[in-house]
Amino acid sequence: MMKSQNADLDKPLTLTELMRGAAAPEAESTGPRYWRSLSELADDGSFGEMASRAAARAQAAIHGLDEPSRRKFMTLMGASFALAGVAGCGVQPVEKIVPYVEQPELIVPGKPLFFATASSRGGDGVGLLVESHMGRPIKIEGNPSHPTGKGATDVFSQAEILSLYDPDRSQVAVHDGGVDTWERFLRFAVDLRARKLGEKGRGLRILTRSVCSPTVLDQIRRLREQMPEARWHSYEPVNRDAARKGAELALGSPMEASYHLEKADVVVALDADLLGWGPAGLRHARAFADRRDPEAESPLKLYAFEPTPSLTGAAADVRVPVAAADVLLVAAALAKALKVEGAPDLDAKRIEPHAARIAALAAELESKKGKALVAVGDSQPAEVHALGLALNAALGAIGEAVTLAPADELAPADQTASLVELVREIEAGAVDTVLVLGANPVYEAPADLKVAEALRNEKVTALIHLGLYNDETGALAHWHLPEAHFLESWGDVRSADGTVSLQQPLIEPLYQGRTASDVLAALLGQVGVPGRELVREYWKTRLPEENFEASWRQALRDGVVPLPAAEPAPAPPAPKLDKVQWPAPAAPADGEYELVFRPDPTIWDGRYANNGWLQELPKPLTTLTWDNAALVSPALARKLGIEDQQVVTLEFRSSTIKAPVLIAPGQAEGTVTVHLGYGRSRAGRVGNGIGFDAYKLRRADAPWSGPGLKLIPTEGRIPLAITQHHHDTKNREPVKVSTFEAARHHGEGEAHGHHHPDFSLYPDAPYKQSEDYAWGMAIDLNRCIGCGACTIACQAENNIPIVGKDQVLNSREMHWIRVDRYYEGEGAASADNPTTHFQPVPCMHCEKAPCELVCPVEATTHSDEGLNEMTYNRCVGTRYCGNNCPYKVRRFNFLQYTDNETPGLQLLRNPDVTVRMRGVMEKCTYCVQRINEARQNAKVEGRKVGGDEVVTACQAACPTRAIVFGNLLDKESSVSKLQASHRNYALLEELGTKPRTTYLTKLTHGAEAHEEPRHG
Amino acid sequence: MSGAHATPETPEVYGLMAEFDDPDRLVEVTRDAYGRGFRQMEAYTPFPVEGLDHALGYHRNKVPRTVFAGALIGGLSGFLLQCWSAMYYYPHNIAGKPLYSWPAFIPITFETTVLGGALSAVFGMLFFNGLPKLYHPVFNAPAFALASDDRFFLCIQSRDPLFDPAETLAFLETCGPRSVSVVPY
Amino acid sequence: MADHQHDDGRPPVLAPGHTYATVTSTISDIVLTRPLDWRWAVGMGIGSSLLLVFGAAVSMLLFKGVGIWGVNAPVMWGWAIINFVWWVGIGHAGTLISAILLLLKQQWRTSINRFAEAMTLFAVACAGMFPLLHMGRPWKFFWMMPYPSTMALLPQWRSPLVWDVFAVSTYATVSALFWYVGLIPDLATLRDRAKNKWVAMIYGSLALGWRGSARHWSRYKSAYMLLAALATPLVVSVHTVVSLDFAASVIPGWHATIFPPYFVAGAIFSGFAMVVTLCVPLRAWYGLKDFITIRHLDNMAKIILATGMIVGYGYAMEFFIAWYSGNPYEEFLLLDARPFGTYSNAYRCMILCNVGIPQLLWVPAIRRNPVLLWIISIFVNIGMWLERYVIVVTSLSQDFLPSSWADYNPTIWDVATFLGTIGLFTFLLFLFVRVLPAIAVAEMRELVHEKHHEHAAAGAAVAEAHGENR
Amino acid sequence: MPQVFHPSANTLSRVVLFSLAAGPGALLGLMMLLVRSPYQTQVGVVREQPVQFSHEHHVKGLGIDCRFCHSSVETAASAGMPPTHTCMTCHSQIWTGSPLLEPVRASLKEQKPLAWTRIHDLPDFVYFHHGVHVQKGVGCVECHGRVDNMPLAWREKPLTMQWCLECHRNPEPRLRPKDEVFNMEWTPPEGSELAHAASTATTSAPAEGSHANLGPHPNTMNHVEVGQLTNCSICHR
């Protein structure tokens, strides 16, 4: 790249030249080489054309995005007779075969390769395996050898693959509003370095999000050594400040607690979304599910006190809605009951109604000492964390179920404070150069800091922004540099538990992206050192050099760096509460409510706003898509006479926004919840201008909640695209619930698990069925936590298009596996705090499938292995099958949903799955492409497919292993075992459809949260 | 009253056409003529007149058996097509139903039966009637246009062995027609 | 009409004083000599402009896909199927009148059958549009028919939709044949009466050279009778098959054994209503009051009343079975969702139009008052459309799993397509009355002939007339 | 009354009526023939190629094994097209000056791949796996014909679904011992079960054990599970 332009650096290159320049694959000594696409390899011009189109878009991205195409973008493109995908009629057009010039080792056309890498978010990381076809990464799986996910992934890691190919990603360096080149930035950087070395780095500020890359941390450290007066600030809108500060209060040093549910029998979540918050949620979810197993001798019991419904609350045996501010009171009450020394004596009036319950809980904790833990959420203030540590100490959990790790000494312990400091310094004119690496402070900083104004300060002569998108901050920057996606770059990730994984590129940067370490390297004088070298250099210093190459390759293969055993950390001091000042419990004025902020369940803090998959993924519990809303409790809605979709004005500390209301059963009465991440102005064509920007209400001193919210109803309405409109089961029992008690000694006249007689007049099958395979699936409702990872994994695996808000509003979403959510309980009380049940619903693959009977053209038939097959290319779209499916799992392409125009998205498609066109029915296929791949491998090796060999996409992604797929004829397969369980039942069994997908009864502790345990 | 193509020197006569204005009278005359041994004759009426065909000695109507045959063929082919394709041509497992799901084959079998019957009825009728026949000598007869209005005609054809221009004319005159005319080819 | 009272005190099927000639001229002159009148022009104008709307709607549909309609998941069938069933239903009266009443030797059918058959054809043409248009990939429609494809695949014979394809296409074919065979003698009449050579040639070639020979007549009559005999069960079968589209499914509110009879009754109900809707203005405008007499209206009103009662019985049975079966899904749908749910208004209007209003027909005076009868028939048409709306939409929008329930709303394109087919129907109908005899001339002559005989045999006539007209 | 029509109208009208009845049928028949004709199936159509490569010369003449160029045919879905490098392994030694090979040399020089024109092209929604077919003992010849007699490659078989099914319903006649798969001239040994199967290609019923003495039955020989071969999802996903 460098060499190609060294000739005349002054002449700015055209975008197409840039593209071609980047197209030359970087010489790699070891490991496979990476390409953007086959068409690039065979440069038959199509790539050049694609590149220039991309360039055109980049221009558009710079000078504001084109309004009309916004949002419709991914959805209604085609709408033409372009009989792509499933089409096929008339004489075939002539096709070209383009072989390699030099066949690269490893790559066999049609055979996927898997590479280990890792993603990071909020200072934590998940190990991943990425499936690559002919140099195109197309699917992300969890890395089984990585402790965080143990092979599972959350929705974000799944969706990263779409972000990689997102055509709205920043594609060109921009200097003062004009297109520029990386090379010229390098020259700028070299000058800057020279200047700053002279000034010892005075006036140089670096702003990042939470950094968990050892290499980058090391680079920053080295930079600080070279430029002592330079400062590093890091700010993450969803941060762990409170936890660290709490630890500082109680222990004297900012330590980060991590919880180990596998070691606890009783878990109390104080506004802690253990299962849904950050990568650690994956670990918690798995441990939780394993400890809830009916075979486990003492199933874990979960208590949740929280202001707004969360996955954790939904999974809890006892869930108590309390205002965010009252969580402190709950903690204090528990502490008092457990005789924690220094426990504050606070006025517990507001939690009076729950007193009995808390007392009982305290007693139970007392009895479970050593097997209990109290988890405090990052959204709670430092005092509660301090109290939480004290409680855990009292319960003897510290070092057992709760471990404390020292925070990185280099990184700011209080990120908010560090951002405030940065802003103050800029305002004081002490800063001339700000290097924003991968952060977007203009959008995501608390509103009262007025970061935008600060950055516009004329003293700041160089604002350099490196970002995946040319976003709100990029718009202000003097230099905007496109950032490389982690699937395009070398790097490393340290996850909270200390495991380190390497990031290796799956593909050449699509848009000349660079990484933060590339930029830092430039400032460190290592101009043009490839990313791979930067990472190796660092690890050469960390890993024993005698067998460095071996361990390096092992790290690349396994995705986990084999670190020499670290010396055990010194036991943390006992927590003390004397230094803590307890806030006076402020009685809420009437007409004023509590405002609570939450990261959005699907687009987090806004960084995924342009990811269509995540936008359309129904948010757990609300099933809302494409929007955020102000969540209010049913009681409050009744009181104010407001209803769903009605727009209200939220007034909080002198700033106001308008937001549509969504009534959330289980919300604390006086609390209103808003989700961060929406209302973006420069996210991209998908994410721009949808929802409202909750950051406008956020305050540096009230990052998560605060009293004094005024809520003024207006006449306006904003339609909210929710995917589930009816929440009660109408006494139909799709989800069967029993108790651990009942499950332990079932058989004593237990009703559940009994089966309807087979009343079909017809023989089982019209002709001989396979003697080798009968595929089936079992979904354990006792493990499902409703996170939605299955839905998005399925979307990624099966080329499922997204349809856009207007289509979802007409309930035309295309997800093959949906997560149904039912509320249980009688009367208004249930609405205020209902029991929540989740139920993933894929195709049932009925053996007497109603859909097959009515198809006029054999487009859906039954295989001799029990699959309900959907042959897209035979479908004429009468939609009769969709009508006749009792489970309503069939999805129809009412319009041309698949985007065949955008070149980037074509690279994303899974080549093993037909791309469906408009007018064709589709549905869950049990990932038949995976079955067939296993079958083919088995045949080539001359063996049979193993009972558990085939893993469906939803199964692979599921954090709790709730979904199990396999061969029912193999009695040893896990699915056979599960379906043999007494908890096994079929959905709508009485219809006699004989589903191959069955469910396992959900179990509870039968606590007061439920009325009498009910059976099938 | 002769077609342009009928050459005057050899005037060929198709037959003699008597015109009546009462159907019942026509029936009597026809019966009478049949009694006198005329066979090659035809009556023309604006609507089906009861008994007229018998009066002409026409009894064997082949249309019904044609229809029966047509319906039979239609039904059989429909049913067999379904069985063959569902059981042998490409046997599919459809909702676990037997390959030979005869109850499901009944509706289409019925439809094809009716279709076969209907088609054979119409085309059989046209075939036996020798239609379409846009040109026919009888159209040469004067006032024959009224055969589709309110007149009733009896035509004794020249190819009848008993046909004799003079006598036959005389006979027809005795039957009290409105008019008798010569129908040229 | 009260002045020409028949001997038995009931209005006659044919006003007295008509001869073969008058019958012939009155009817054929409408086609051959009568000048354009403004009412026809207006009707034709409306029809053809709606036809343009249809064109627009269909092109939009083909260009963008069925997504422009309101259909969604779970309500994957919407107006398209509703309209289909509605039109097919209307298409039943024609063949029924011609076939069944012919076999029953009902004289009064004579003057309305031609017209009713034409209506049938056009209604079926409109109906046929929808199954094609509602497909996701209409250009693949031929996969539903058996043909030797290189895919070695034939239709899936167990699917009611395939039965539909055969039933509707057979019905269309047979009705067309029946109609055309009936037309042949009248085309001959037009040929012979046409002043203009070209007109004569056109009608002549359509008449296939019909010359009214006695032998031809006898074959003709047996063919016609047999067609009627075949068409009779066909009529019943068509709507039975259509009803099986619903009855063969598992969806609550669809999966009901009562559907076939109740659909057929409904079809006849709506069919006769439409005949009345069209007859009343027609006889007024074209001076056909002598041929389409009060007697006809009266009899049709009686049939409407009777079939309406059957439909009402159907509704009642749905309730009863839902309760009696104890099937929770049926119970919820029929006893809760339909009468009180989202679509309760449609449901209640339906009951009013189909069961309530027709009760007025118990009153002879109303039956014999063309204007009132016409208004009632309009209500019945609306009611029957609503019936199909209720069946299709309510059942689908709330079936088994509450999680997947969703409401259905039509779009402007649904409406445009429906109006479009109404345009097509009107257009064809107005074309028909101008270019073809709207009443079977030959059969009317036969009727005149029979009437002469009745008068001849004076005393016997009364009794005979009773026998015939019952 | 004057005649409306000339006598010739009689014949004419019958012709018209007949063609109205028979015409559509004839048209359909024509289309049926058309979709089976080379125009649609491209059978026997020689396509223009960047290099005049002769299978006849390389396979029959030089006796090069299929797998030398189509290297992944035994294991992968795609048989694999030879990279330019493979051509040059020999052609850097022989015919180094031949103008015919200019594109190949150019490709290597400019690192710009050759773009061959596809001969055997299945629709995008059909998934075919070479490796499995080879493993089950389907000879190359069965689908590709006698490539060793093709100076320039053409399509030998129509590759229609019907054609695929003929074999998927009744594989025996097309199966052979695995080691004979790449043999172009192979014919079943006299009187063997294979020969028997091949002779009864028309009857779909697999021959029974009565022929046990005739050597292995083709299906059992290569463990072909015939039942699954007609599942839609075997080829369509």
Which among A41, A85, A110 is the nearest to D113, CB-wise? A41
Average pLDDT, chain C: 88
Q: What percent of chain A has pLDDT over 90?
A: 59
Residue type, C376: I
**What band does A17 get if pLDDT is binned at 50, 70 and 90?**
very low
Provide CATH 3.30.70.20 ranges for chain A: 737-756+768-1004
Cβ–Cβ gap A862/B91 under 8 Å:
no
Find residues 601-630 of chain A whose CB sits inside 8 Å of chain C.
none
- What CATH code would you report for C43-145+153-433? 1.20.1630.10
CB contact at 8 A, B66 and B42 = no
| pLDDT recorded at residue B11 | 55
Find residues 120-139 of chain D whose CB sits inside 8 Å of chain A.
121, 123-125, 127, 129, 131-132, 135-136
Distance from CA of B35 to the nearest CA of D (A): 30
Q: Summarize pLDDT for A889-904 with one digit per residue, the tens.
A: 999 999 999 988 887 7
Enumerate the residues of chain C whose CB falls inside 8 A of the CB of residue A888.
73-74, 399-401, 404
Once rounded to an integer, what is the mean pLDDT over residues A804-818? 94
Residue A65, pLDDT > 70, answer: no
Cβ–Cβ gap D227/A97 under 8 Å:
no
CB contact at 8 A, A738 and A1001 = yes
Once rounded to an integer, what is the mean pLDDT over residues A33-47? 39
Which among B30, B48, B105 is the nearest to C217, CB-wise? B48
Q: Summarize pLDDT for A240-253 with one digit per residue, the tens.
A: 999 999 999 998 88
| pLDDT recorded at residue A373 | 93
Closest to A330 (Cα-Cα) out of A308, A363, A359, A310: A359
Q: Summarize pLDDT for C4-38 with one digit per residue, the tens.
A: 444 455 677 777 778 888 888 888 888 888 788 88
Region of D116 please: left (phi>0), alpha (psi -120 to 50) or beta. beta
Flag whether residue D13 sits within 8 Å of chain C, measured between CB atoms: yes
Per mean pLDDT, which range of A549-553, B171-175, C97-101, D149-153 is the poorest?
C97-101
Flag whether residue B26 sits within 8 Å of chain C, measured between CB atoms: no
Q: Which residues of C272-286 are buried (b: 16+ CB within 10 A; e: fewer)?
A: bbbbbbbbbebbeeb
Average pLDDT, chain A: 85
| pLDDT recorded at residue B150 | 86
| B84 burial type by CB count under 10 A (0-12 exposed, 13-18 middle, 19+ buried) | exposed
Once rounded to an integer, what is the mean pLDDT over residues C191-214? 90
| Strands in A555-629 per DSSP E | 593-598, 624-625
Instruction: Kindly give the pairing relationship between strand A402-406 and strand A255-259.
Output: antiparallel
Provide CATH 2.40.40.20 ranges for chain A: 593-722
Please report the number of interchain residue pairs, chain A to chain B, with beta-carbon separation below 8 angstroms.
48
Distance from CA of D174 to the nearest CA of A (A): 18
Break chain A down into helix, strand, coil percent, rounded to 5: 30, 20, 50
| pLDDT recorded at residue A34 | 39
Q: In 3-state terms, what secondary structure has residue A133?
A: strand
Cβ–Cβ gap C151/D161 under 8 Å:
yes
Once rounded to an integer, what is the mean pLDDT over residues D69-84? 89
Cα A424 to Cα A576: distance, rounded to the nearest angstrom? 33
Measured CA to CA in angstroms, residue A605 lies from A791, C66, C121 at distances of: 21, 37, 63
Distance from CA of D51 to the nearest CA of B (A): 43
| pLDDT recorded at residue C361 | 94
Looking at this predicted complex, what is its ipTM? Answer: 0.90
Per mean pLDDT, which range of A2-16, A143-157, D94-108 is the poorest?
A2-16
**What band does A63 get if pLDDT is binned at 50, 70 and 90?**
very low
Distance from CA of C91 to the nearest CA of B (A): 17
The architecture that CATH gives domain A593-722 is Beta Barrel (2.40)
Cβ–Cβ gap D4/B142 under 8 Å:
no
CA dihedral A101, A103, A104, A110 (to 10 degrees): 110
Flag whether residue B88 sits within 8 Å of chain C, measured between CB atoms: no
Once rounded to an integer, what is the mean pLDDT over residues B121-137? 91
CB contact at 8 A, A673 and A307 = yes
Cβ–Cβ gap D5/C152 under 8 Å:
no
| Strands in C230-343 per DSSP E | none
Which among B58, B114, B134 is the nearest to C174, CB-wise? B114
Measured CA to CA in angstroms, residue C227 lies from A77, B122, C169, C221 at distances of: 52, 8, 16, 10
Enumerate the residues of chain A whose CB falls inside 8 A of the CB of residue B87.
none
Cβ–Cβ gap D1/B5 under 8 Å:
no
Q: What would the two tokens of residue A290 be?
A: 């394993």
| pLDDT recorded at residue A431 | 92
Flag whether residue B98 sits within 8 Å of chain A, measured between CB atoms: yes
| pLDDT recorded at residue A828 | 57
Mutate to test the interface with D, among C150, C156, C203 (most CBs of D within 10 A): C150
Cis peptide before C74 (omega within 30 of 0): yes
CB contact at 8 A, A900 and A906 = yes
Q: Which residue of C has its CA nearest to A87?
A: C137
Dihedrals phi, psi of D220, to nearest 5 degrees: -65, -35
Question: Which residues from B are below 8 Å from D when comparing CB atoms?
Answer: 3, 5, 90, 123, 126, 132-135, 139-145
Q: What is the CA radius of gyration of chain C?
A: 23
Q: What would the two tokens of residue A733 be?
A: 């029992």
Residue type, C137: R
Cα A375 to Cα A372: distance, rounded to the nearest angstrom? 10
Closest to A889 (Cα-Cα) out of A969, A804, A777, A760: A777
Residue type, A522: A
Q: What would the two tokens of residue C341 be?
A: 């749910």
CB contact at 8 A, C122 and C433 = no
| pLDDT recorded at residue C102 | 83
Pick the CATH number of A737-756+768-1004 from 3.40.50.620, 1.20.1300.10, 3.30.70.20, 3.90.580.10: 3.30.70.20
Per mean pLDDT, which range of A586-600, B60-74, C121-135, D219-233 is the poorest?
D219-233
| pLDDT recorded at residue C11 | 72
Cβ–Cβ gap D236/A109 under 8 Å:
no
Mutate to test the interface with D, among B134, B136, B153 (most CBs of D within 10 A): B134
- Where are chain C's structural domains? 43-145+153-433
Measured CA to CA in angstroms, residue A193 lies from A188, A189, A229, A514, A747 at distances of: 9, 6, 13, 18, 76
Pick the CATH number of A173-238+411-489+504-530 from 3.30.540.10, 3.30.420.40, 3.30.300.350, 3.40.50.740: 3.40.50.740
**What band does D89 get if pLDDT is binned at 50, 70 and 90?**
confident
Q: What would the two tokens of residue B38 be?
A: 């005329």
Sign of CA dihedral D58, D60, D61, D62: positive
Which among D1, D6, D230 is the nearest to B135, CB-wise? D6
Once rounded to an integer, what is the mean pLDDT over residues D195-204? 59
Touching subunits of D (3+ CB pairs, under 8 Å) are: A, B, C
Which among C166, C173, C227 is the nearest to B108, CB-wise? C166
**What band does A1014 get if pLDDT is binned at 50, 70 and 90?**
very low
Q: Summarize pLDDT for C326-377 with one digit per residue, the tens.
A: 889 999 999 989 999 899 999 999 999 999 999 999 999 999 999 999 999 9
Q: Summarize pLDDT for C369-392 with one digit per residue, the tens.
A: 999 999 999 999 999 999 999 999
Tell me how crowded residue A571 is: count the other CB atoms within 10 A of its CB.
Answer: 9
Cα A978 to Cα D175: distance, rounded to the nearest angstrom? 40
| pLDDT recorded at residue A101 | 79
Q: What percent of chain C has pLDDT over 90?
A: 64
Residue A3, pLDDT > 50, answer: no
Q: Summarize pLDDT for A908-963 with one digit per residue, the tens.
A: 899 899 999 999 999 999 999 999 999 998 988 888 999 999 999 999 999 999 99
**What band does A767 get if pLDDT is binned at 50, 70 and 90?**
confident
Enumerate the residues of chain A whose CB falls inside 8 A of the CB of residue C400.
732, 886-888, 988, 991
Tell me how crowded residue B10 is: count the other CB atoms within 10 A of its CB.
Answer: 6
Dihedrals phi, psi of A1000, to nearest 5 degrees: -110, 130
Residue A372, pLDDT > 70, answer: yes
The architecture that CATH gives domain A255-406 is 3-Layer(aba) Sandwich (3.40)
Measured CA to CA in angstroms, residue C156 lies from A863, B101, B113, C425 at distances of: 15, 11, 19, 32
Cα A13 to Cα A28: distance, rounded to the nearest angstrom? 26
| Placement of tokens 């390389």 in the chain | D58
Cα D157 to Cα D154: distance, rounded to the nearest angstrom? 9
Find residues 335-364 of chain C whose CB sits inside 8 Å of chain B.
none
**What band does D220 get if pLDDT is binned at 50, 70 and 90?**
low
DSSP A5-56: HHTTSSSPPPHHHHHHHHHSPPP-SSS----S-HHHHTTSSHHHHHHHHHHH
Residue B4, pLDDT > 60, answer: no
Q: Summarize pLDDT for A328-350 with one digit per residue, the tens.
A: 999 999 999 998 888 888 888 88
Q: Summarize pLDDT for C255-297 with one digit per residue, the tens.
A: 988 999 999 999 999 999 999 998 898 888 887 888 888 888 9
Flag whether residue D17 sits within 8 Å of chain B, measured between CB atoms: yes
Residue A64, pLDDT > 80, answer: no
Flag whether residue D30 sits within 8 Å of chain C, measured between CB atoms: no
Distance of alpha carbon C277 from its chain centroid, rounded? 11
Q: In 3-state terms, what secondary structure has residue C381?
A: helix
Find residues 234-263 of chain C whose CB sits inside 8 Å of chain B.
234, 237, 240-241, 244
Q: What would the two tokens of residue A424 be?
A: 């103050």
Provide CATH 3.40.228.10 ranges for chain A: 255-406
Residue A109, pLDDT > 80, answer: no
Enumerate the residues of chain C whose CB falls inside 8 A of the CB of residue B92.
156
Provide CATH 3.40.50.740 ranges for chain A: 173-238+411-489+504-530
Which among D9, D17, D165 is the nearest to B135, CB-wise? D9
Which is more confident, A222 or A79?
A: A222
Cβ–Cβ gap C151/D162 under 8 Å:
yes
Residue type, A1006: G
**What band does D214 get if pLDDT is binned at 50, 70 and 90?**
low
Which among C64, C137, C402 is the nearest to A877, CB-wise? C137
Cβ–Cβ gap C141/A876 under 8 Å:
yes
Mutate to test the interface with A, among D78, D129, D237 (most CBs of A within 10 A): D237
Cβ–Cβ gap B96/A767 under 8 Å:
no
Cβ–Cβ gap C201/D4 under 8 Å:
yes
Cβ–Cβ gap C248/A853 under 8 Å:
yes
